[in-house]
Amino acid sequence: MRYVQLILLLFFAVLTSSVAQAVVELAPEGQSPKVIDEVYWQDQTFFVAIEDVLAAVDRSGEWDSVKHVYRFDSPRGSVVIAPGSQFVKVDGSYRPLNRKPRFIDNRLRVPEEFVTRHLPDLIRTPIYYRNLTSREEVEEEEPGTLDRLFAMLLRREASSSNSARLRALALDPGHGGFDTGTIGLDGVQEKEVALATARQLAKITKMRLGVPVYLSRDGDYAVTPAQRLEPALKEEVDALLILHAQASWDVSVDGAALIVRPQEEFEGERIDAERGDSMRLARHIQQSLEAAGIETSGIYQAALPALGRGNLPTVLVELGYLTNTKDHARLVTDAGRETIAQALYDGLQNFIRKTEEKAP
């Protein structure tokens, strides 16, 4: 076991690489291409600053700091891009994106797909686009490394003492550093909300139970996918909570949401999420959030890399909408976050107690 831990430490030392960047060329077809060299690789996609994209096709737009959206005029009408939204709004209709636009290094960036799929139609001009960087060059992790780490996301032996208590908790506050996550009312950044909530939950858990709580980050810095899994691999960790917050065009949309992996392992076999412990944990958290007056829209299944594999009870909690005044008020105040953290703690506790009752 010690040997395995040492190997893991070495993995993480190697994986702590700097931010990957790429270079692309873009221009209206037939014109000499402009080089855009500040392109980021995240979530398996290249992200280009919207201002650089528009400048390369001789257009420009502007950031609306009140509504927190970016606008530019096109022959199709006014185009509105919102950080954290899965859609681009074009003259009242919506066009889907495979990845959400986001702030990286203080600039709003769109996925490469926006340039290749939507831009030519929006500006009614064919474009020349070429990415000079290969995926291999920007992949932060050596192929297979994450797979190996996922495979280790297994629940350790149950506590030998029969006390129904959590032995250790892993928390992954979303985003960090140049990756701000979504931006909400008053410019609040998702990365701040996720970290502040994680800290409060860690404090409650340590105070009440005196057990270790491991965070994937305890400050404002970027974290690689492998580093996000690191705390979950520690001995005696009984659960992993991943904390995020959302944004929407529709300011009336509110509430928390819970996400679990669609399948997990049980005694060496894959079982549907419905029968797994992550789902049980999600249900307990949903109950405790609602008992605390925090509405939830439901429990969803998604094959997100952040959720890993294996059978460690893992739930991604979308804490609420930063674009909704009620959720926002809860997420930006200490008192509000205290309520959320307490509810998450209660959900965990109820889950652990029921787990122990189930054990022979």
**Is 228 near Zn ion (CB under 5 A)?**
no
**Cα(43)–Cα(66) distance, integer angstroms:** 28
**Is 255 near Zn ion (CB under 5 A)?**
no
Interface region with Zn ion, contact rule CB under 5 A, candidates 3-11, 237-245, 289-297, 298-306: 237-245
Q: Any bridge partners for residue 95, and if so which?
A: 88
Q: Which residue is nearest to Zn ion (CB)?
A: 244
Question: Minimum distance between the CB of residue 157 and Zn ion, rounded to whole angstroms?
Answer: 32
**Is 244 near Zn ion (CB under 5 A)?**
yes
Question: Minimum distance between the CB of residue 191 and Zn ion, rounded to whole angstroms?
Answer: 8
Tokens of 154: 């297994």
**Segments of 105-194 assigned E as strands:** 107-111, 127-131, 169-173
Per rule CB under 5 A, count of chain residues that contact Zn ion: 3
Provide the mask over 144-183, with x wherever binding to Zn ion is found by CB under 5 A and - wherever it is not.
------------------------------x------x--
Interface region with Zn ion, contact rule CB under 5 A, candidates 85-93, 243-251, 260-268, 287-295: 243-251
**Cα(280)–Cα(44) distance, integer angstroms:** 30
The helix or strand, by DSSP H or E, that contains position 241, with its residue range, turns out to be strand 239-246
**Cα(192)–Cα(319) distance, integer angstroms:** 12
Question: Minimum distance between the CB of residue 261 and Zn ion, rounded to whole angstroms?
Answer: 17
Question: Minimum distance between the CB of residue 318 and Zn ion, rounded to whole angstroms?
Answer: 8
Where does the chain have alpha helices with state H?
Answer: 2-15, 50-56, 112-113, 119-122, 135-138, 145-151, 190-209, 225-229, 277-291, 325-332, 334-358
Residues that bind Zn ion (CB under 5 A): 174, 181, 244
